[in-house]
Amino acid sequence: MNFENKRAAGIKSSPSMAIAMAAKKLIAEGRDIIDLSLGEPDFEPPAHVAEAACEAIRQGRVRYGVPAGMESLRQAIVSKFKTENQLNYAADEVMVANGAKQILFDVFLATLELGDEVIIPTPCWVSYGDIVSLHGGDPVYVSCGPEVGFKIDPERLEASITSKTRWLLLNSPSNPTGAIYSAQEYRGLAEVLARHPQVLVLSDEIYEHILLREAPFISFASACPELRERTLIVNGVSKAYAMTGWRVGYAAGPKALIASLNKMQSQSVTSVSTVAQAAALAALTGDQAFVAKAARTFADRAKIMSQRLAGIEGIDFTPPEGAFYAFIGVGKLFGRKLSGEVVVDDTTFAAHLLQQFGLSSVPGAAFGAPGFIRLSIAASERELERACERLASMVRSLK
């Protein structure tokens, strides 16, 4: 029996999740697999985070919360934007959801009419397009390859805007490429957007703190204050504080839009778990040394990856500026054979890499960028070195 409506049938499960499940299955069967498919820090959150959650439980702070998020947590988010991004938001201009992912659901549920277009520069995070489609929108993918630093430029943006464009979706630092927009690049986009007042900007800044090289981070709203009333910033504690499973994300934007997102929350999840909110509050208001230390760890790992990958002939690799992924061009190797079978694209490349060489990656097609594979660098240095050996071994075997 077919249970799904057209919208549900038209999308797929998250590809990176699916690949991670396949890797886990092989591991359970006893295979020696290095799983670099999922994007989550491989260490524990700071101890005071778990302690704050336990304390909330002990004190019985476990009733329904309000849809927008706890007042104290929203105040902490307001302070975060003030001190880290020089942005002034009031408590009713921020809201809390079950991860950044749920904010995307709230946003598109609340704002998209059937057939509205959302511009998504690619390579992009695997979930953007399907979340847009699920809410009746049309994702408009704009290819932004290495020749433009994996970033949309004013010309490409102008050419993609139509009367149906509702949102431009930006993500800096980027998953999967690690590219970071400069203030100047954002300003170039803002000049185009000034001519198209119907277009809103969703800036996904979830990797804000994972900076690997010299490139500084700037929030879109800080770089383009004149677009503040058309900008929604999305962020969260998943990546910065290694709190992926706690499911706490937050957004900042114009009051009327935030009120609408809260309305979506009130009719869906009611509120984020109050225990998780207590943990997120501790993360945002506690000692921030963890965040800088984690970023340094990722930067060291990125350096190792860059050194090792530079030694593999036939692949293309631009060292990431942020986030925790290596996005590797493997297109030049297509057409070569492995055990008599032709490797035709990134999906078959990734399948061979997993099945024959025990390394789990995500093919670029999942990010709207065929010809690449993504490896997470959220693993120990030893694991990363072994992973690069396995990749090198596969590349050497291609004839």
Q: How far is the CB of 8 from ligand PLP (least distance, A)?
A: 20
Report the residue number, 160 or 238, with the smaller CB distance to ligand PLP: 238
* Alpha carbon distance 131, 290 (integer Å): 32
Report the residue number, 37 or 274, with the smaller CB distance to ligand PLP: 37
Q: How far is the CB of 39 from ligand PLP (least distance, A)?
A: 5
DSSP one-letter code for 364: G
* Alpha carbon distance 388, 307 (integer Å): 10
Burial degree of 59 (CB within 10 A; 0-12, 13-18, 19+)? exposed
Report the residue number, 244 or 318, with the smaller CB distance to ligand PLP: 244
Q: Which two tokens stand for residue 368?
A: 């709207």
Q: How far is the CB of 336 from ligand PLP (least distance, A)?
A: 31
Burial degree of 393 (CB within 10 A; 0-12, 13-18, 19+)? middle
Q: How far is the CB of 45 from ligand PLP (least distance, A)?
A: 13
Q: How far is the CB of 245 from ligand PLP (least distance, A)?
A: 9
Strands 325-329 and 316-317 turn out to be antiparallel
* Alpha carbon distance 249, 308 (integer Å): 34
Name the site residues for ligand PLP (rule: CB under 6 A). Answer: 39, 99-101, 125, 171, 175, 204, 206, 236, 238, 244, 249
Cβ-proximal residues to 120 (8 Å cutoff; 6+ apart), any chain: 128, 129, 132, 139, 140, 141, 142, 169, 368
Report the residue number, 320 or 358, with the smaller CB distance to ligand PLP: 320
Report the residue number, 211 or 343, with the smaller CB distance to ligand PLP: 211
Q: How far is the CB of 124 from ligand PLP (least distance, A)?
A: 8
Report the residue number, 186 or 207, with the smaller CB distance to ligand PLP: 207
